[in-house]
DNA sequence: AAAGAAATACGAAACTCTTCGTTGACAATA
DNA sequence: TATTGTCAACGAAGAGTTTCGTATTTCTTT
């Protein structure tokens, strides 16, 4: 009961909105989503209801317009998704995944520096 | 017609076998898969047929037992999957993804060194 | 209190994914 | 040539995903 399933594509779109906006009504989420890809209001509502059942989001019903909140923080979900991809396509090799990530997207010099700092920190711990 | 869809979980399991073994019959793929998770022979067959329709694999029918081959090399599929995840969950930020990958899995010192080399190479080009 | 609006709940349809039982083709062999 | 075993093809069922139309509830305004 405590485990939360991997979000589907449509669910992830909704989670992104909730992470950015914080607690939001269906209308607010829908308006954001419909800006990029027009869709029906009830479609977003239904998604959020299913996500509530799955435990992906929680719902505050104290107001007339219910407020939805992502159950897990963005970082945790990202870590879950990366770990999942690692197992499914990279035989668990993190370095391979990093290799592909950096070769598939031109990272900015600033980003590369960030990663370098991260490496320094990690190697500092490994002693 | 030229674009190949993102492989599903079950499809990825099959692709992993094909990448490791090279051209294989249904029986060969099935035996590998069933070792970890017992499943019916026709299940694997049907998957391969669907994957052929989708263009994920190609089929050599010259022999009685058809030979299946992954259409894209492992590297290319990995790049596609990482790029996809980047867009869906990381707003395109490669450094964020790398951060999550490394913090979710304890990379070995050797792997960290590999990544460092990659960074050197990339920064060399960015001038 | 009635009418109108805004929001949620319900149900269903279309589609995909995954699995497997059954059928039919083919080949080796007795 | 009849039998047996191996393989691909087909169809379908069950679950999950995504979408949306309709109904119901609830609040607000008159």
Residue B2 has pLDDT above 70, yes or no: no
Instruction: Give the per-residue pLDDT at A104.
Output: 78
Please tell me whether residues A78 and A66 are part of one structural domain: no
Residue A108 resides in a domain: yes
Question: Which residues of chain A fall short of a pLDDT of 50?
Answer: 1, 127
Q: Are residues A18 and A64 in the same domain?
A: yes
Residues B14 and B65 reside in one and the same domain: yes
Same domain, A45 and A82: no
Domain membership flag for residue A4? no
pLDDT value of position B8:
96
What's residue A29's pLDDT? Answer: 97
- Residue B93 CA and nucleotide C2 C1' are separated, in Å, by 55
At A2 the pLDDT is 57
Contacts of A98 (CB under 8 A, 6+ apart): B98, B101, B102, B115, B118
Q: Above 90 in pLDDT, residue B55?
A: yes
In chain A, the number of structural domains is 2
Alpha-carbon torsion (B54, A90, B95, A31), positive or negative: positive
Residues with CB under 7 A from strand D: A 5, 8-11, 37, 39-40, 42-43, 46-47, 50, 64; B 25-27, 42, 45-46, 49, 61, 64-66
In a shared domain, residues B87 and B114:
yes
> Which positions ≥6 away from A73 have C-beta within 8 Å?
A19
């Amino acid at each position: 009961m405590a485990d939360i399933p991997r979000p589907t594509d449509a669910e992830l779109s909704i989670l992104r909105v909730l992470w950015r906006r914080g607690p939001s009504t269906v209308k607010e989420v829908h308006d954001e989503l419909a800006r990029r890809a027009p869709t029906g209001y009830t479609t977003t509502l239904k998604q959020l209801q299913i996500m509530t059942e799955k435990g992906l989001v929680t719902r505050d019903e104290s107001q007339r317009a219910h407020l939805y909140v992502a159950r897990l923080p963005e970082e945790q979900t990202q870590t879950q998704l990366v770990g999942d991809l690692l197992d499914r396509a990279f035989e668990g090799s993190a370095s391979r995944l990093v290799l592909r990530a950096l070769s598939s997207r031109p990272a900015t010099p600033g980003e590369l520096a960030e990663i370098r700092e991260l490496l320094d920190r990690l190697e500092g711990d490994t002693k």
